[in-house]
């Protein structure tokens, strides 16, 4: 087992490994994005959550996890959802922990608790999820990323937490 | 604010704010049923939203996967009937 005592990345060389296997698929940003200051304290902030874990409400169209270049759609996940009403359609990361407790990758119950306790101001009505296996970064940026960004902004969050699975 | 387990990927993608947790892929918020750790990662990430000063910097949270696993196993031993 790899020594993780210093807090190093548990699976090193991930970018190089994926880029070698799927040349050109990995995103590189040349520029820094300017920081937008938070306009209110966290305890008053409305929080959105976005995940590439492929989490979706049961009964919605499953993500296409075997498409050769990926699925560029996203799903809305009501922030009031119970974990029992959600499921994962994604093959590209270990889901053994999430199968026992979805909160290890999609911490909806913890966010609901923090909002109820007043540690954060509240939650946007909708959270969002997609799958990270998308092999065309140009299509990803022009379709999924843009449409998803528009949908998130429409929820009027103060803070967006993103967990790229 | 990105919460990442892939430091090398995040350093290239350059989200304006990010925290790194040295956990397994698919386990960004820790281990099953470890509620306090899951909450801590969320709140530490939110705190960094307020404290970040340089775009692209990745803040490392001071915890290891071994510590998270050990605490998770202790919790499950104490409460073996969790779902």
What ipTM was estimated for this complex? 0.95
The secondary structure element, H or E, covering residue B50 is: helix B35-51
pLDDT digits (tens, 9 = 90+) for A6-61: 689 998 898 899 888 888 888 888 788 899 999 999 999 999 999 999 999 999 99
Q: How far apart are the first and last CA of chain B?
A: 30
The nearest CA of chain A is from the CA of B78 a distance in Å of 17
The predicted pLDDT at position A110 comes to 98
- Report yes or no: A51 and A131 within 8 Å, Cβ to Cβ: no
Tell me if B4 sits within 8 A of B10, measured CB to CB: yes
- Per-residue pLDDT of B26-67, as tens digits, reads 999 999 999 999 999 999 999 999 999 999 999 999 999 999
Measured CA to CA, the distance from residue A64 to residue A10 in angstroms comes to: 28
Whether the predicted pLDDT of B83 surpasses 80? no
**pLDDT tops 80 at residue A5:** no
Q: Which residue of A has its CA nearest to B39?
A: A110
Q: What is the pLDDT of residue A1?
A: 44
Spatial CB neighbours of B57, under 8 Å, sequence gap ≥ 6: B17, B18
Record the pTM. 0.94
Chain mean pLDDT for chain B: 94
pLDDT digits (tens, 9 = 90+) for A119-158: 999 999 999 999 987 888 888 888 899 999 999 999 999 9
- Residue of chain A minimizing CA distance to B47: A42
Determine the average pLDDT of the residues in A61-65.
Answer: 93
d(CA B29, CA B47): 15
| A39 touches B at CB < 8 Å | no
Alpha-helical (H) ranges within chain A are 14-21, 96-100, 108-117, 137-139, 146-154
User: Mind listing the pLDDT tens digit for each residue in A70-127?
Assistant: 899 999 999 999 999 999 998 888 999 999 999 999 999 999 999 999 999 999 999 9
CB contacts < 8 A (A, B)? 156
């Amino acid at each position: 087992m790899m020594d993780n005592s210093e807090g190093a990345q548990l699976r090193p060389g991930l970018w190089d490994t994926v880029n070698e296997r799927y040349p050109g698929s990995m995103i590189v940003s040349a520029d820094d994005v300017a920081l937008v200051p938070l306009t209110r304290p966290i305890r008053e902030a409305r929080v959105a959550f976005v995940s590439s874990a492929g989490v979706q409400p049961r009964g919605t169209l499953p993500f296409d996890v075997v498409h050769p270049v990926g699925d560029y759609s996203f799903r809305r996940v009501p922030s009031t959802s119970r974990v029992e009403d959600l499921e994962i359609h994604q093959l590209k990361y270990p889901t053994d922990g999430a199968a026992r407790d979805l909160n290890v990758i999609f911490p909806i119950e913890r966010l609901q608790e923090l909002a109820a306790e007043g540690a954060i101001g509240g939650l946007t009505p909708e959270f969002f999820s997609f799958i990270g296996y998308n092999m065309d970064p140009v299509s990803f940026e022009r379709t999924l990323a843009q449409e998803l960004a528009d949908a998130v902004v429409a929820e009027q969050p103060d803070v967006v937490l993103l967990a790229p699975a | 604010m990105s919460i990442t387990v892939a430091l090398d990927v995040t350093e290239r993608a350059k989200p304006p704010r990010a925290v790194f947790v040295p956990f397994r892929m698919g386990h960004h918020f820790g281990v099953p049923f470890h509620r306090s750790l899951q909450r801590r990662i969320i709140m530490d990430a939110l705190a960094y939203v307020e404290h970040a000063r340089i775009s692209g910097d990745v803040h490392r949270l001071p915890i290891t996967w071994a510590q998270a696993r050990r605490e998770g196993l202790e919790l499950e031993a104490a409460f073996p009937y969790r779902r």
